[in-house]
Chains A and B, each alone.
Chain A
Amino acid sequence: MSLAFKQETFRDDYTFRNSPEAIRRFPFPFPEDQYMYSVNIEPHTAGPKGAVTEFTLDVDEHYVAECRDKAITLEQDPGRCASLPHMMDAEWDFLEFTMESLARDYPEQFSLSKNGKAWTWINRPLGIEQSFVFGDAATLPMGPFEYMGRQVQGDFVLLDQREDTLFADAGIVTSQADWSLAFNVGMSWNEWHGPVPQVTKLGVMDRALKFLMSLQQANPVRRLNWTMTINPRLDTSPENYPLWGGDRNKVNEQNAGELAHLRVELQTLFRMPRSNAIVFSIRCYLISMQEMATYPRWAKRFHRVLRDLHPDLVEYKGITKYQQAVVAWLSRFDDGADIGTGTQPE
């Protein structure tokens, strides 16, 4: 597959745009007119050709620009990548997993050759060639987790399984949605999901945890989560709130199509072999309302979901200030027709 990587930004002048092909493959998350949390976990099996789930890790037209944006965020705040000392096996598992899957699925862009423990990694889009010894961190320019975390789109958390729960003991997090808690390495499942409204009473989190504890090698799973972001900004961290929080007040019925973006996270979870850790990958896809409305079925669907969203979720997702403006902008596409179930664009 040949990929044309775009030159674009996710900050300052915000030149990020989706091509028509990127819009068509957007992981639209709403099969129905209403949305509520559920244990929406399914096997991460290969999706149709061209879909974001076609391969283990999705590399798309935004790859180079996203890696560059990640590097800027890490330079400004190196604390966005952290790993506890007992996670070293998991770091190497992560490096092997990402290198092997990229080289297998995108052979024109990436290659990996192995001679025993002497490995050579080539990343053509980013212009990287690196020989190193697997298992010897001194032969890489930085820790194995950060090294590959910088070369894959999205955020990654490595979860250690012990004490009947999961601990987020390593993370590289540069494009999180506005988590209401700053991400802390070492937090447990219940600690990081504590502030999520509505879910405990639905029993969602307990079931999801039990399910993940028995996640098996070679049987990864995925789920979609979503929120909204004003401007195509990846780094909407609480730490940088002053840089982007104010944009929420700028949305009105005229500019909502351009400013407001649906932000979908494709979350995938993989059991690692040596460390028994779980890799939690959070891949963010952005689409403006204008881009979405090139498929009126999606605009109708999202109009209904957003209009009728439970007030707790509106608040939690930080949509309160501009919900009405976006609903008003989308309403022109919604004739009220029954569009059935399913996430397809047409």
Chain B
Amino acid sequence: MSQLQVKVASIQDVSAGVRHFTLVDAHGGELPAFSGGSHIVVTMPAPGRTYRNAYSLLSSPEDRAHYEIAVHRQPQSRGGSIYMHEEVKVGSVLDISYPVNLFALSRVAKHHLLIAGGIGITPFMAQIHDLERLGGDYSLHYGFRSREHAAFADALKGRVSQRAVCYDESLGQRMDFDALLRAQPLGTHVYACGPQGMVEALVSTARALGWPEHHIHSEQFLAPPVGEPFTLKLSKSELEITVQGDMSMLEALEAAGVDAPSLCRGGACGRCELEVLGTDGELQHHDHYLSDADKASGRKIMPCVSRAKCGYLELNL
């Protein structure tokens, strides 16, 4: 996959535990345009293992000079957010993916109802730019625990106050999903991003009210298939190859000079299929090619996207 290199131009603490990063192209050029709702995947080469976390872009999609992301420090998390808070400084250079949008606005919706909880406001910050530019009809409802957690309340106030409603939980203000959803005109699409409990409650309320499935959107990130390193044992060529956490099995085979076939490199075509002879852990299938039965059998793997959580994986190669 093609990657971008960015440099951290500034860092700001915007609210309790939330740090805001402004990124510029490391080579001084323009960054690619994107659509509101897009995220980037940041590669973090921590010692011992590489993290890849997805963060929504919150800057204006038309601003090709900067990307902005906000990172909520999650002490109990896998460690990516801690890396961003502790290791990344102004001037740090980071590898990021091109923007990917799995939370796109529907371009045929009559009205957009945007529901944000806490740090879940970020994708909407960019979507609002698109909606304003396109003259889209929308309303935004933004809930937060207290004023000091309201990372973007002031920014919103200035920009779009007549379309945004804020809910400060510490003052007992809460969204009433049922009432909100019932009040929407026909053809409305609802978008939810925030804590899992909030998103689930919104989605189930909308379903219970009979909203069409395609009108209910919730943020999903492309779970990047990275993980811990493990060792490949090749039975025919009697080689042992380490697959690093930020590499696919296919890339590791290629880097070791093994002639491994591939075509799509995206888990669709079937060309790269390999036979598994054994492992001391479990296979993590990420492809669209193998049937569920094949996946369950543990005998086949598509090394372009899949990997294993194990010490070793033995292949008939």
Chain A residues at the B interface, C-beta cutoff of 8 Å: 38-43, 86-87, 89, 93, 160-164, 206-208, 210-211, 214, 216-219, 221, 273-276
Contacts and interface: CB of A to CB of B under 8 A. Distances in A.
Contact of A89 (B100, B134, B288): B134
26 contacts: A39-B264, A39-B268, A39-B270, A41-B266, A42-B264, A42-B265, A43-B264, A89-B35, A89-B134, A93-B33, A162-B107, A162-B108, A164-B214, A207-B268, A207-B289, A211-B264, A211-B267, A214-B222, A216-B100, A217-B32, A217-B34, A217-B100, A218-B32, A273-B32, A273-B35, A273-B99
Contact of A211 (B1, B2, B33, B268): B268
Contact-size category for B: 20 to 34
CB-based closest 4 A-B pairs: A211-B268, A273-B33, A86-B107, A217-B98
Contacts of B267: 211
Contacts of B188: none
A6 B32 CA distance: 37
Contact of A216 (B33, B98, B214): B98
Interface of B: 1-2, 32-35, 38, 61, 97-101, 104, 106-108, 134, 214, 222, 263-270, 288-289
B161 to A, nearest CB: 26
Contacts of B106: 162
Contacts of B38: 276
Nearest to B189: A162
A86 B108 contact: yes
Given A42-B264, A210-B288, A214-B222, A219 B1 contact: yes
A43 B2 CA distance: 11
Contact of B263 (A40, A162, A276): A40
B236 to A, nearest CB: 21
Contacts of A221: 264, 266
A41 B104 contact: no
Contacts of B33: 93, 273-274
Contacts of B289: 207
A217 B107 contact: no
Given A161-B104, A211-B264, 16 more contacts: A39-B270, A41-B263, A41-B266, A43-B265, A86-B108, A162-B214, A208-B268, A211-B266, A216-B97, A216-B98, A217-B100, A218-B32, A221-B264, A273-B33, A273-B99, A274-B33
A162 B98 contact: no
A274 B134 CA distance: 12
Nearest to A87: B107
Contacts of B270: 38-39
Contacts of B108: 86, 162
B214 A210 contact: no
Nearest to A274: B33
A219 B2 contact: yes
